Structure 1
Amino acid sequence: MRSFFAPFAVVLALVAGASFARADDFVLALSWTPGFCATLATPDAKPECAPSDASTNALLSLHGLWPQPRGRAYCAVSDDLIARDRSPGWDDLPPVPLQDPALEQALAEVMPGVASHLDRHEWIKHGTCTGWDADTYMRTAIALTQTARATQTQRLISKAQGDTVTSAALCRALEADFGPGILKAASLKVDRVGRGAQRRAVLVDLRIYLRDSGSGLALDSAHLAEGAASLRCTPEPLAVP
């Protein structure tokens, strides 16, 4: 199937007449879905944690694209929708108002959480604060995720699946992909699971802080929001389920 996304850069269209300022800084949150599922007390409760295509589980997936600063959320969203979003499960949220039908399939390919309506939550809470329409928001997030999947970092994580990787090794791969600035523009979400001797640190998310300087947003060294985060590069082994 022909991809309609630019693999390494995407220019963002702005929504005319938006009632709030567009975002300039973002966090691209990329999940390692098997790691996320390993942290759940009842993984069967999440459809995306059921056995699925191995190739999908060996790729970073889209968690979200979050406008900054932290806490910027639910822009022009009704109290009723906010309450529904904060309730357990997102089945009661309205579908994302996409105009391009092709985006639905493309989104499902990079966001396994669509099975749990994660896309609805991300649009309601975060997408509404970007100043973009739903198509622009999701198209941008999809393209950034596709770029992340074509990196040495992705290959390192995929190769480590079923074993461990150190954050130091991840730092080296990220530097090779994006330059030294990434160490001040990225963070890892690591959760600890198990008890006693079985307790282990599990890789859950890779979060990259990006800045739109006015020319658009892309996942490359020129768009890193350096100073927004600090990546710890240690020899601690991280489990990669």
Structure 2
Amino acid sequence: MSCRRPRCAGRPQQRVLMKNVFSCLISALALVGIAHAGELKPARHADFPRYTYALTWQPGFCSTGGGCLPGQSHEVKIGLHGLWASEPQSLIDQNVPVRQWWAQGCSSFPHVTMVPALPDALQQQLRQFMPQLQDDLQLHEYVKHAQCFGFPAQQFFATALSMRQAAADSGFGHYLLEQAGQTRSREDLQDAFAKTFGTDQRRSLQLQCGKDAQGRNVLTQFWFTLQADKLAAFPAAESFVNTPDGEYEDSCAQPFLLPDW
């Protein structure tokens, strides 16, 4: 993000100038946060082994279910859904089923719901890259998947955005963009994934599909299972790990379309 002269210099009035300078400072701080995003560490309940990092294929995601709001950006195809910790060992020791953990998330622990306070620049980035839904996805992701771990909200979302950019800029991201408008199979995407990242952990990649208004089977999301202690290495090969059988949720058994906007 650059602070172009019209925005940052503004008119000569002192109050306007200070407001613009402050806005640019916040933008710069947000970018600094993204640059060091890999250092994300949970302050509580850190006894979990994996993350699921969820990205969306925006044209497919927004064409299924309730769809996205009218103001949804059509400039982005690879979007951000969330970053989800696997079930903490403390809950496993209490015999809490993994499906219950995925359904309840942070409500599994006593907590007070925290609304994340984020700089305007970071919120703008999230609006650009996250699906814009009737229910605030940004708030949902923090309340369900982040607050009980004590992740600072700004660092949590900056990490997720930084990882999205790394995925989109990778050979796998470029491959997906080249497939817009084409029909592919799970095996096609797994092959491209394994080749790009040099990994044999093919079941790290989980695909989500749904039906659009025309009844077509379309790609909506793609998820990566990552080792919790290798999050900062993403997308290096050592960060990926096969999804355990009890957690594997791939709904793209049939060939699917990667729709374009």
| TM-score, scaled relative to structure 1 | 0.73
> Which residue matches 2:239?
223
- Structure 2 counterpart of 1:54, from 74, 82, 85: 74
Structure 2 portions without partners, runs of 5+: 3-30, 88-97
> Which residue matches 1:204?
220
Matches within 5 A, 1:12-91: 12-14=39-41, 18-21=43-46, 23-40=48-65, 42-43=66-67, 46-47=68-69, 50=70, 52-56=72-76, 59-69=77-87, 70=98, 71=101, 73-74=105-106, 75-78=109-112
Deviation string 1:18-55 (CA, Å, 9 cap, x unpaired) is: 45336441100111122122222x53xx31xx375432
Secondary structure of 1:96's counterpart equals coil
| Structure with the greater alpha carbon radius of gyration | 2
Secondary structure of 1:112's counterpart equals coil
The RMSD of aligned alpha carbons is: 3.1
Matches within 5 A, 1:158-237: 158-193=177-212, 199-213=215-229, 216=232, 218-228=234-244, 236-237=254-255
Residues in 1 aligned to 2:232 and 2:47: alpha-carbon distance in whole angstroms: 12
Q: What stretches of structure 1 move > 4 A for 4+ residues in a row? A: 229-232
User: What is the identity percentage for the equivalent residue pairs of Structure 1 and Structure 2?
Assistant: 24
TM-fit CA distance, 1:160: 2.3
Secondary structure of 2:200's counterpart equals helix
Q: 1:19 to 1:158 in 2, by over 3 A?
A: closer
Residues in 2 aligned to 1:214 and 1:154: alpha-carbon distance in whole angstroms: 20
TM-fit CA distance, 1:119: 0.4
TM-fit CA distance, 1:76: 4.0
- Structure 2 counterpart of 1:96, from 107, 112, 116: 116
TM-fit CA distance, 1:159: 2.2
Matches within 5 A, 1:4-19: 4=32, 5-6=34-35, 10-14=37-41, 18-19=43-44
Across the two proteins, how many residue pairs are aligned to each other?
211
- Structure 1 counterpart of 2:157, from 130, 135, 138: 138
TM-fit CA distance, 1:217: 5.3
| TM-score, scaled relative to structure 2 | 0.68
